[in-house]
Amino acid sequence: MLCIFEITDKTGCLIHLSYKQWLHIQIHPGMTISVIEHIKETLISPHYKYRQEYLMVLVKYLNNSGFIITNFYTDTLQ
């Protein structure tokens, strides 16, 4: 499986973003290549820094590792 990146999140779990999921993520408004750094920052240090929108990153965890299912911008915390 091709990965865009792998990173250790704040809990110490290895998280990856697959190429397939990156293609899915790009259908959401505002998802450009520059958002990858924002995704990494969110996984390392989740915070509720409100600009105009929040970046929601959804991760599926299995056996002490995980993968990103999707992410999107939202104006409310869910």
Please give the model's pTM, rounded to 2 decimal places.
Answer: 0.82
The domain locations on the chain are: 3-74
10-residue block means of pLDDT along the chain (78 residues)?
Answer: 92 95 89 88 78 84 93 79
18: left (phi over 0), alpha (psi -120 to 50) or beta: beta
